[in-house]
Amino acid sequence: MAWLLPNKLMNTYSFLDMNQDLTETSPILIIPYMWIGDFVRGHTVARVLKERWPNRPVDVLSTSLCAPLVDYMPGVRSAVIFDLPRGRLALAKQQQLARELRRRNYGTALVLPRTWKSAIAPTLAGIPQRTGFVGEVRFGLINDWRWGEKAMPRFIDKNASLALPAGAPLPKEWPAPQLTASPAEIAAWRQANDLSEKPSIALAPGSVGSSKRWTYYAEAARLLSARGYDVWIVGGPNEKTIAADIIQIAGRQVRDLTGTDLRNGIMAMAAASLVISNDSGLMHVAAALGTPSIGIFGPTSPYHWAPLNGLAAVMKRPTNLPCQPCHRPVCTANDHHCMRDIAANDLVTTVDDVIARGLQNVPLSA
């Protein structure tokens, strides 16, 4: 039911088998995927770029939602905050963004999404090198073409390879995303929210798609609170109703820390003793912060979708159902048993083990 992953020292050596270029100083723009988890994983790309070009500033295009993450990303200079509408071209907005990019004088733009629309503003801005995969036939928009995307095994390989020279072999290990929060900032956040120094568990019960949401967060919150843990619920405004349902069953001692400011969620997961999360963006945030994390998986595969940082433990059924993994946003078979067969008591036992043994996040291959 649970895989407990042993402690392992992280590699501290250089991961790229190439010489650093100290002469180039022009800024680089990363255009990432804008889902929270994918945005966090984009920090690996920034780390590869800084390894290759230590003296080139790296900025990240960001939505207003994701922008707080950039403040905690080592090696990233700033976020270019711009909310382009989804589902339509919005040429006037693209031109407005292009003017801002031109003002910042970028020498290179790495366009991670494969869409035609994601390459428009860098092209209008006249950024000299625009690197990306062929994607939606982006001739004239991308001028540093990359091929072979479909042959790459993982999402991180597709993204981070764009930070390497064309045709360079992939490294055995990519640098994991990092988010760093200072102890002083965490202490100030605790004080502002009137939170104690007791061992605390942050629950992240939300996800994109109901099929990835574990069934028994309310029961787990009740059991964890009875064991003396402070229990916090983190998430966005869409999780307010879920938080209220959990508190109704678990009791008012459980704190609802959901809201519109992602920074509040970042601080909660940085301050927590442990985070419990579905396969969601907040799972990647917690792992990148280095907080011991338990990931609950049902319709998705932990091998493919667990954070590159790793997890302290993985919760899933001991054997897969015939429909697993389905990657569907809504369960259409087996009455959601991939999640319903993970018991709250089993999760709480795993929490106790992780905290007692001091386990940290490690890759699944450990």
| 177-234 pLDDT, tens digit each | 999 999 999 999 999 999 999 999 999 999 988 899 999 999 999 999 999 999 999 9
CA distance 314 to 304: 13
Can you give the three-state secondary structure of the chain, one letter per residue?
CEEECCCCCCCCCCCCCCCCCCCCCCCEEEECCCCHHHHHHCHHHHHHHHHHCCCCCEEEEECCCCHHHHCCCCCCCEEEECCCCCCCCCHHHHHHHHHHHHHHCCCEEEECCCCCHHHHHHHHCCCCEEEEECCCCCECCECEEECCHHHCCCHHHHHHHHHCCCCCCCCCCCCCCCCCCCHHHHHHHHHHCCCCCCCEEEEECCCCCHHHCCCCHHHHHHHHHHCCCEEEECCCHHHHHHHHHHHHHHCCCCEECCCCCHHHHHHHHHHCCEEEEECCHHHHHHHHHCCCEEEECCCCCHHHHCCCCCECEEECCCCCCCCCCCCCCCCCCHHHHHHHCCCHHHHHHHHHHHHHHCCCCECCCC
How would you classify the pairing of strands 129-133 and 144-146? Answer: parallel
Q: Which domains does the chain possess? A: 19-163 (3.40.50.2000), 183-357 (3.40.50.2000)
User: Does pLDDT of 113 surpass 90?
Assistant: yes
Average pLDDT, the chain: 92
Structure confidence at residue 9 as a pLDDT band (50, 70, 90):
very low
User: Of the given ranges (37-41, 125-129, 146-150, 240-244), which has the lowest mean pLDDT?
Assistant: 146-150
pLDDT reported for residue 307: 92
Contacts 24+ apart (CB under 8 A), 146-154: 149/114, 154/304
β-strand partners of 130? 109
d(CA 38, CA 32): 8
Confidence of residue 366 (pLDDT cuts 50, 70, 90): very low
CB within 8 Å of 322: residues ≥ 6 apart: 334
The tens digit of pLDDT for each residue in 250-268 reads 999 999 999 999 999 999 9
Instruction: Give whole-number Cα distances, 22 to 25, 29, 54, 230, in Å.
Output: 8, 18, 6, 48
Residues paired with 295 in a beta bridge: 277, 314
Residue 151 clears pLDDT 90, i.e. is over it: no
Round to whole Å and give the CA distance between 302 and 148. Answer: 24
The number of beta carbons lying within 10 Å of the beta carbon of residue 39 is 25
| pLDDT(283) > 90 | yes
* Tokens representing residue 275 in the block: 């985070």
Residues 202 and 180: their CA atoms lie apart, in Å, by 18
Least confident segment among 134-138, 314-318, 351-355: 134-138
Query: For residue 123, what pLDDT is reported?
Result: 97
13 contacts 172 by C-beta, under 8 angstroms: no
81 token code pair: 């905050």
